[in-house]
Chains A and B, each alone.
Chain A
């Protein structure tokens, strides 16, 4: 069973559209994250939820809205997509909000490659 699963794996859409990416973790972790990886492979955190509560909200356009219906799910909705939103979006989870419990760090999903045309 996949520990952190994201859907879809690939998403190609036109500018101006609204799209959602879903993430689920079956590890029993309390904290989930969204990261954006740009074309230079630089990873930057966008949001973090701990037990459904938003704890990190980086400087991200309001067009991006995370939603956590329960602690096993963290979805990302993007409105009015722009060309610059093209990137790989990674969902991740950790046992606690510091990611230091035991030796776990973050567990990442396999990513969603978003292409805006």
Chain B
């Protein structure tokens, strides 16, 4: 079945650093979502992208819908300790009624 690969799988960064992660697929998607999951909680929606090339920000977070429609990117600027968690991308392709979730990027911030 379809699979979304996220990179990197995990990362340790220093507080204040910028973070970049991406999500790639062999299939084309019409919508991309980015979620964050804190330990013991469900994923929470961060950003939604609906058009190829779209760039959307939410505070220190910026996400982009790749031009090829097969990838998406998430950047976090000036990371803080509470950015710790697992970041998931999710994609929706045409003709389907379900989002496919990525494999997740685990972020750990060192104070």
Contacts and interface: CB of A to CB of B under 8 A. Distances in A.
B100 to A, nearest CB: 8
A110 B41 contact: yes
Most-contacted residue by chain B among A56, A90, A100, A110 (CB, 10 A): A100
B43 A108 contact: yes
B42 A110 contact: yes
Nearest to B3: A42
A106 B104 contact: no
Given A100-B31, A105-B90, A110 B101 contact: no
A interface, size bucket: 20 to 34
Chief secondary structure at chain B's binding surface: strand
Interface stretch (A11-19, A69-77, A91-99): A91-99
B50 A100 contact: yes
Contact of B92 (A55, A56, A100, A111): A100
Interface in A58-117: 90, 92, 97-100, 103-111
Chief secondary structure at chain A's binding surface: loop
B45 A41 contact: no
Given A42-B104, A56-B97, A108 B86 contact: no
B62 interface: no
Contacts of B101: 42-44
Interface residues of B, number: 23
B110 interface: no
A56 B98 contact: yes
B41 A105 contact: no
A48 interface: yes
Given A40-B103, A111-B40, 14 more contacts: A45-B99, A48-B97, A48-B98, A97-B97, A99-B33, A100-B50, A104-B48, A105-B48, A105-B90, A106-B43, A106-B90, A108-B42, A108-B43, A111-B41
Interface of B: 31, 33, 35, 37, 40-45, 48, 50, 86, 88, 90, 92, 97-99, 101, 103-104, 106
Which 10 pairs of residues, A with B, have the shortest CB-CB distance?
A108-B42, A43-B101, A105-B45, A105-B33, A103-B48, A108-B43, A45-B98, A110-B42, A41-B104, A90-B42
